[in-house]
Amino acid sequence: MEFDLNNEGEIDLMSLKRMMEKLGVPKTHLEMKKMISEVTGGSHDV
């Protein structure tokens, strides 16, 4: 919930990027999109 900035029950790309930075593992937008695609099986456009 800490990273769900719009309270929709989902984490968008920017929220996920912010979370990774806070965890000390910063990622580029391209790395984030690849990571999301791997998790979702490529079923969602980001």
Q: Which of 6-10, 12-16, 17-21, 41-45 has the highest mean pLDDT?
A: 17-21
Residue at 46 is within a domain:
no
* Residue range(s) defining the domain that contains residue 6: 1-41
Confidence of residue 24 (pLDDT cuts 50, 70, 90): very high
Q: Is 13 helix (H, G, I), strand (E, B) or coil?
A: helix
pTM: 0.57
Specify the higher pLDDT residue, 42 or 13. 13
CATH number of domain containing 15: 1.10.238.10
Q: For residues 25 and 41, what is the distance between their CA atoms, to the nearest angstrom?
A: 22
Are 18 and 2 a contacting pair, CB within 8 Å? Answer: no
